[in-house]
Every structure is written in C-alpha cells, then in structure tokens.
Structure 1
Amino acid sequence: MKTIQCLCCAALVASTAAQAQEEASSPLKVGGAIRFNYVHKSWQDDKPRGFFGLDTARLDVKYDDGQVIGSAQYRYNRFPTGQGGYWQHFLHHGWAGVRFADKSELHVGVDRNPFGLSPFASNNFYESIAFYAGFEDKYDLGVTYASAPGPFQWQLGFFPRDGGSYGGGDNTAGASNRYSYNIVPDDPEQGYGTGQSDRERNTLIGRAAWQFGSAAKHEAGVSALVGDIRNGAGQDSRRRAFALHYKGTYGPVGVMLEALRYNYRTRHTATQTYGGLDPNSFVMMGAFGYPYPVAAKGDIYIANVSYDLPWKVGPFNGFKVYNDWSMLKKRVGGYRDSTQNVTGMSFAAGKWFFYADFMLGKHHPYMSPDFGGLASTSAQHQGHTRRINLQAGYYF
C-alpha cells in the first residue's frame, strides 16, 4: 500500500510539475492590474482632506513564441468627484508583430512612439511634462521597426493615424477619451469651444541610441519627428520635433536628461480661438476625457535623479527615491513657462506596487488650477501649487 501511495504521490507531483512547466512556457500571458489613489490638492478648497478612489482597472494580454509576438492592454478609469467624477475606457495599446533571427522586431498596430527617453522619461506615476505635451509614453496606430539589440540601436515608426478615441461618461469630451495625448478636435461643452478640429496624421519618427560603459550602463540618443496636422478644412499643415537624451546609472544612482524642441504650424481661422488669443499660437490636445490648449512652439527640458535603497522592511522591498523635474518653455504668444517637480518614493511587496509622490506645479493642467496653463496662463495662478498622490496597485 505504501508503495502504491508513493507511486501515486510521485505521479501527482510529476503531473503538477509538468502542468506548471507548461503554463510557464506558454506563449500566451494574461494579466492585469487594479490601482487606487489618495489625492490631496492644495488649491481644492472643497476637499480639504483630499479624496480616495479607484484609479484604473486594466487587462493585459501578451504573446511571444520566440518569433510571433504581440501585446495589448485595455483600461477602465473611474475617478471620484475630486478628480472630476467621471469614467472612461480605452485601448492603451494593441499590436502584433514578428521577431527576426537577429532579434530585431517589426510591429503593426497601436504601438509606442520611439521618441526620447524610453520607455519613460520619469520615475514617478504622473510622468514628466513631456507626457502632457504628447512626447512621453505615447501610442499611435502604425508600423514600427526596432533594430537588433546591441551597443547601437535604432527604431523607426510611421503612424498614419493616432490611437483613436473610445468611450466615456456624458461629462467627458468624446474625442479625448484616450490614453495618449494627441492633437484632437476641441469640444464645445467639455473643452474651450474654439471650433478647432485638428488631428495628427502621417507621423514619421526615428530614434537612435548608443549604449556605452561597463555593462552598457549609459545611453545617449537622438530622436526626430515630422508629421501632418489635418485641420478638417482641407488645409493640412506640418509639425516637427527633435530631442536629445541621456540616461545612466552610477551604482545606485540613476540619471535621466532630455532636451526637446517642437514646432506646430497650424492653419486656424480668426474665430478658432478663445479669450482673444492668436488662434495659431496654440493647439488643442486631449486625453483622459478632456482637451486643453498647448503652446504651438516650445522647448521641454527634463532632469531626473533617483537612488535605489537596499532596504527590506517586512514584505516591502525595491525602494527607490527620486526627484523628477521638467519644464515647458513656450516660444510663442509671450506665454509664461510651465513647470513640474515630483519628489517621491516607489516600492513593492509581492504583487503590490506603491508610489508616494509630492508634486509642485505651475501653469500645469494636473498640478495646478490653471487647466489651460500649457498655453496661455491665468493671472490668478502665478504661484506654485501642491499635489500629493499616494497609490497602491495590485498587478497580476
């Protein structure tokens, strides 16, 4: 009997191990995340104690059999009243592709723009000011190619269209129900009522990066972007951008630097404006439910530093402290500059990941009451304002 029991146990263990190995080697992975935020805004007098609520629920699907590859993510957001009291859903990204024998890759679908610091130009949850101007963590519909890994790498992408707009509540602007910040048509009720109807089209992006030093701990790169702006009246114009970046690690210290210049040549009529502004001094950009104006010409500067702490406190580990600074210097309209600084810490515990961020902003749509501040600025909001963000996310 004991022999039979031992054989049965061995068979069960072998079956379980084989099943686990099969699951581990499966090319298809399905996962997701759910995240919650506590937020306090220094300018929000009706929420003196801040507010807490759901931030995001998302579903991730990845496929990789060594040659055929793909990735997709869909998100649902429901924000509490302190954050607008609205909901929306959208495709974050979704592409399929092939990996060649030399490890280079070709992707087709809604994919990341290969521009600037990658994959992010920031350490914190709210990213850098480049994100809100459409130059960080951005996804559009097109074809991308990434060269084989090595000391010199390059990527090329062509995006005939943006990533599209999806669904949201009645208190959102339909064209802005998306993840990535794109040039979008303004909204008469949830926007600025300018009547601008621009869209991004036929964007070509190239990026080259050189990795050097011991274990390729340093990277220097250059990026360039050209594309069309379709104004809905049959008069297309052009946009372009150029960036230099560096990132490196010095033991536990991480550094990110980027300098970026962009120029949008718009063709707006005299009535396509608000507040008497030059209608060609700004474009309307939208995501997360709402559009806002952004200066048509500007320079963006990013300087981030981080430090990895060798701490382990109970179940918590992976501690990183950081300070991320970025600025938009506007080169049109006499507009005042916008700034963003985030000092914070991130850490993990099993499948949980946490951010604790203290943010200072000026003329910034998410870190000040000056929602139009990436273009013209309000005389009422000349000082820096504060935002605290505490986030807990479970990733599975």
Structure 2
Amino acid sequence: MTTSTDRRAPALRFVLAGLMGCLCVSARAEDALKAPLTLGGAIRFNYVHKSWQDTYRSGFFGLDTARLDVNYDDGRLIGSAQYRYNNFPKGQGGYWQHFLHHGWAGVRFSDQSELHIGLDRNPFGLLPLASNNFYESIAFYAGLEDKYDLGLSYASRPGPVQWHLAFFPRDGGAYGGGSNTAEASNRYSYNIVPDDAEQGYGTGQSDRERNTLVGRIAWHAGSDGRHELGVSGLSGEIRNDRGAGTRRRALALHYRGQFGRFRVMLEALRYRYRTAHGADQTYAGLDPNSFVMLGGFGYPFPVASAGDIRIANISYDLPGRLGPFHDFRLYNDYSDLRKRSGPFRDSVQNVSGLSFSAGKWTFYTDLMFGKHHPYLSPDAGGLAATSSAHEGFTRRINLQAGYYF
C-alpha cells in the first residue's frame, strides 16, 4: 500500500533538488562576483573655458583621459595598477602623454594591516584626497596631495588609531608623451624634476627626489569614525648632478568631520626644500635656491622652495534623485600657498562645484577662481610667480563627464 507520504516523496525530492540546484548556481554566481582579479577603467571628456585665453573665447571640448585598471584581492594577496593615456586639445596645449598612475602588490595580514611594494600613494595629509573637485587642491600641484612614489608602505590595522609608514627610494618615474612635452615631466604625480630647456625654463636645475620617509597617524572618533584628526611628516633627499645631497621636509595637520549631510576637510601644512643650486641655475634674476622645479602632466614649473599651504573644504550631500541622476554633492574647496622664500606672490585656488552620477557615469561641474597658479592664471611662474601684472583673480570653468566600467 502506498501512503500519501510516499506519493509526495518524489515531488519533495524534485523540489529539494531544484532548490539545491538554485543554491549551487547562486553560489557559483557569488563566487564569480568575488573573483580576486577584476578589470576596469574609465574614459573622460572635458569642456574648459579660461577667462584669460583670448584665442578660445568659447572654450574647448575634448578627450581628457582613457585609463585601464587592474585589481587583485583574494583576502590575503592584494594588488592594484592603473595606466592612463591623456589627450589635451589645442586650447589646453595640444599634447598627449601616457603614464603608470600606480602599480603595487602586497599582502593583507590577519589583523587587516597591509604591506605594499611598488608605485603607491604617499600616505601624507588627508587621504585619499584633500579635495572634492576634479582639479584637487594647491597641495596637489606642490607635490603634497594624491602623490605616488616607488617603494614600501605599511598601513596598520583599522581602528580608532591608525598609522602609516612608508619609504620611497625613488619617485614614480617618467613615461612617454608628445614631442611638445618635457620628457622628465611625463608623469601623474608632481615631483621635483630636472628642468627642460625647450618646454621648461632653461634653468639647468637637475634635482630629483630620493629616499623619502613618510609617517602618518590618525585618530578616529564618534560613531562610524565620523571625525578624524591626524598628523603627517615627510623627509627626503634632493639629488642633482653636481654631487650635492640636500633635503626636503614637510609637516601636516588635518581634520575630517561629518555632521549629518555636511562634510568638512581642513589641513595646514608647511614644507621646506633645501637645495644647492649654482648661481647660473635660475631665471629672471631670482635666487636659484628660492625655488625648485616640479613637473607633471608634461611640463615643469617653478615652486617656491618654502611655504605654508592651507586647505578648507565643505560639502553637502543632497538627498534624493532626479530622473537617472543621483549622489548629488555640492562643495566649495579653498586652498592657498603662502610662500616663505623669494619675492613670490601668494597663490590662491577656490573651486565651487557640484558632482553627481547616473549609472556608470560621473559628472563634475567646477567653477574655479585663483591667481598665481599654473592651471588658473597666465603667470609664467606658476607657484613661484613674481609678476604684479596678474594680481587679480582669473577663472576657469570645467565640465566633465566620465564613464567608469
């Protein structure tokens, strides 16, 4: 005699088999999503208008960046690399370049601390960035924000107190670019670099950064670590072909806080570059040791060899969506550089803007005001400007659309 339970058994086994199959498929899908090796990238386009540029009164539009990202994380072994190609239309100089943005491999220990080796971020000041806008802060152009060098770095385990220690024997190196770029400046990070006779200032300075030691400690407080207070220090050599080994030093204090939808970033830093330039390694009659040559994105420019940088940013995250658009953030980022060497005039940068997203697209709308700044004014001297002819503020409008995959 067959019972009702016996009659239900095949059906029950079928249902259980189906559920197990679904679970296996789900597990395989989850494993695929957690694959340790991932590939990605981005392509970005910019519209730019400069108030001081008479030849492009309507601004200009073009490709900004194409990049490829490779990341690896199996829980213990980790790594990340990114290669970029930059193209700038005629209004931006009409040149192209390519470079390794970063490339490192490492290990994550059982306490979640990490050791990296390779081309990695300098753990100095506010991390990962001291800004909300696309063009970052003056600290970026002075080589003290979003900077990558070649060496070893260690990050302690996450917690209320976290510290970083890094040693970089060399800078990030130079890569390739068009014939109208300075070879040593074809890089992402702004480093002290040899000057260029054709695309630079012809000073003959041949400095390079070597053996840089960086330490950082940050205290986190409040729910979810909403407040962070930190201190960073940097010390390294400056070498040139004259056999003189001199040093550079920097110290920074920073604060990051979140108050509901408001976010605040504050940083104060002081740097000093001690050089040993010859009397002939100068331009415009300046003291040759009152400035150093920094290079990045294809071109070098002079920067005062000593100065104070102040950063004050505030942002507000707008709630809700507007059609496909979401993650709206309003911000105002202010930074300035007060120079403590030479007859140089102070540099100022202020960026008011809005960023938002739509699927894999990210957008920036930035209105920038500034003076004595290599990206914000016609000063020939960049961050070591002496001219009084451009004492007024100039502006730059930047509209960017980037597709990230």
- 1:336 aligns to what SS in structure 2? coil
CA distance in 1, matches of 2:322, 2:267: 34
Task: Return the offset for 1:334.
Answer: 2.5
Contact 1:110 1:142 in 2 (8 A): yes
Matched, 1:84 2:93: yes
- Residues 1:96 and 2:105 are matched in the alignment: yes
* Counterpart check, 1:172 vs 2:181: yes
Taking the aligned partners of 1:17 and 1:101, their CA distance within structure 2 comes to 28
The structural deviation recorded for 1:23 is 2.1
The one of 304, 311, 317 equivalent to 2:313 is 304
2:55 alignment partner AA: D
Q: Which of 82, 92, 113 is 1:73 aligned to?
A: 82
User: 1:314: how far off?
Assistant: 0.3
1:120-199 correspondence to structure 2 within 5 Å = 120-199=129-208
1:202 is paired with a residue whose SS is: strand
1:260 maps to: 269
Q: Does 1:200 align with 2:213?
A: no
- In structure 2, what is the equivalent of residue 220 of structure 1? 229
Q: Tell me, what secondary structure is at the counterpart of 2:284? A: coil
Partner of 1:271: 280
Partner of 1:20: 29
Alignment of 1:232-251 (within 5 A): 232-251=241-260
The answer on 1:283 being equivalent to 2:287 is: no
Pairwise CA distance, 1:22: 3.1
CA deviation after TM superposition for structure 1 residue 106, in Å: 0.2
**Structure 1 SS opposite 2:56:** coil
SS at match of 1:46: helix
- Is 1:364–1:371's contact at 8 Å kept on the other side of the alignment? no
Deviation at 1:16, TM superposition (A): 6.3
- Aligned AA for 1:106? L
Which of 113, 117, 120 matches 2:126? 117
Report whether the alignment pairs 1:229 with 2:238.
Answer: yes
Aligned residues: 392
Matched, 1:294 2:306: no
The CA deviation at 1:141 is 0.1
1:346 & 1:108 partners in 2: Cα distance?
Answer: 33
CA drift of 1:381 comes to 1.1
Deviation for aligned residue 1:373: 2.8
Of 22, 38, 42, the residue aligned with 2:51 is: 42
Query: Hey, what's the Cα distance between the residues in 2 that align with 1:147 and 1:330?
Result: 34
2-structure distance, mates of 1:75, 1:371: 27
Which residue of structure 2 aligns with residue 59 of structure 1?
68
What is the Cα deviation at residue 19 of structure 1?
Answer: 5.1
Distance 1:299 1:378 in 2: 20
The question of whether the paired residues in 1 share the 8 Å contact of 2:379 and 2:385 is answered with no
Q: State the Cα distance separating 1:121 from its structure 2 match.
A: 0.2
Aligned twin of 1:391:
400
Under a length normalisation based on structure 1, what TM-score does the superposition of the two structures give?
0.96
Q: Distance in 2 between matches of 1:275 and 1:102?
A: 55
Q: Is the 8 A contact 2:346 2:372 kept in 1?
A: yes
User: 1:11, CA displacement in angstroms?
Assistant: 11
- Which deviations, in whole Å up to 9, do the C-alpha atoms of 1:85-109 show, x marking residues without a partner? 0000000000000000000000000
Q: Tell me which amino acid in the other structure corresponds to 1:172.
A: T
- Normalised by the length of structure 2, the TM-score is 0.94
**Structure 2 unaligned regions, length at least 5:** 1-10
SS at 1:26 equivalent: coil
Per the alignment, in what secondary structure is the counterpart of residue 109 of structure 1? strand
Corresponding letter in the other structure for 1:237: T
Measured against aligned partners, the alpha-carbon deviations of 1:303-332 in whole angstroms (never above 9, x if no partner) come to: 000000003000000000000000000001
| Partner amino acid, structure 1, of 2:69 | D
**What SS does the corresponding residue of 2:72 show, helix, strand or coil?**
strand
Larger Rg: 2
> Does the CA-based 8 Å contact 1:173-1:187 persist in structure 2?
yes
TM-fit CA distance, 1:15: 8.0
The ranges of structure 1 where at least 4 consecutive aligned residues each deviate by more than 4 angstroms after the TM superposition are: 9-19
Which moves more between the two structures, 19-28 or 324-333? 19-28
**Contact 2:97 2:177 (8 Å CA) reproduced:** yes
Alpha-carbon displacement from aligned partner over 1:249-302 (angstroms, at most 9, x marks no partner): 000000000000000000000000001000000000000000000000000000
**Percent identity of equivalent pairs:** 72
Any conservation in 1 of the 2:343–2:386 contact (CA below 8 Å)?
A: no
The code of the aligned residue for 2:228 comes to: E
Contact 1:59 1:73 in 2 (8 A): yes
Are 1:341 and 2:326 matched, yes or no? no
Q: Is 2:87–2:96's contact at 8 Å kept on the other side of the alignment?
A: yes
SS at match of 2:55: coil
